[in-house]
Amino acid sequence: MTYENALEEYLEEDENGKHKLIYAYFGLSVYKSQCLEETFSNMLLLNRICNKSLNSLNDIDNEILNSSKKTMGNLIREVKIEYKFTDKLEEDLSKILTKRNYLVHKYFKENIQRFFTELGQKEMLSFFSEFIDESTRIDNELEIYYQEYKNKLSLTDDVIENIINKMKEEEILREKQE
């Protein structure tokens, strides 16, 4: 689905716009990998809160800070210890980690020549779109594993939506003050 949208956008752009679109989809890919990392961090945090290994707000703050310093690979290893995944999900996590590391550390170094042709540009969009779709699917699948903890802590969709709305309001207010 993402690739079809990207291709539709691509065909409407001039040469400069096509390059910008490729960078935009690269950026969205990196963003989706960060969303996955945040999901792993949240899974560990919720698990540790519910299992009483974090006993104070200070412990929680420290856990959040420490988690932000961990690589995606380390987060996946820790999550696998705390949660029992299907073999398929474990395989998917391994694959998405490999793709994420390639994307972030080597993709442009090994594929910059693709910018010179329409075929190459479409291949880049295809790679990024596939990564976006896979990351989104995995992120959605992971929610099943930590939903029980969300329920125990009364983190309903409404509560989360209210938190997000409050963040939006604070940012809008900050902008108005500038």
Give pLDDT, residue 62: 84
Rounded Cα distance, 12 and 105, in Å: 30
Residue type at 145 in one-letter notation:
Y
> What does pTM read for this prediction?
0.88
Over its length of 178 residues, how does the chain's per-residue pLDDT go in tens digits? 899 999 999 999 999 999 999 999 999 999 999 999 999 999 999 998 888 887 788 888 888 888 889 999 999 999 999 999 999 999 999 999 999 999 999 999 999 999 999 999 999 999 999 999 999 999 999 999 999 888 888 888 888 888 888 988 999 999 999 8
Give pLDDT, residue 149: 87
No. of H helices and E strands in the chain? 8, 0
Rounded Cα distance, 178 and 173, in Å: 9
Measured over the CA atoms of residue 155, residue 157, residue 158 and residue 163, the dihedral's sign is positive
- What are the C-alpha distances in Å from 40 to residues 20, 74, 120, 157? 30, 10, 33, 18
DSSP code per residue over 7-35: HHHHHHS-HHHHHHHHHHHHHHHHHHHHH
Nearest to 142 by CA among 31, 47, 2, 36: 36
Specify the DSSP class assigned to residue 154: T
Where along the chain do its domains lie? Answer: 2-177
Measured over the CA atoms of residue 134, residue 159, residue 45 and residue 81, the dihedral's sign is negative
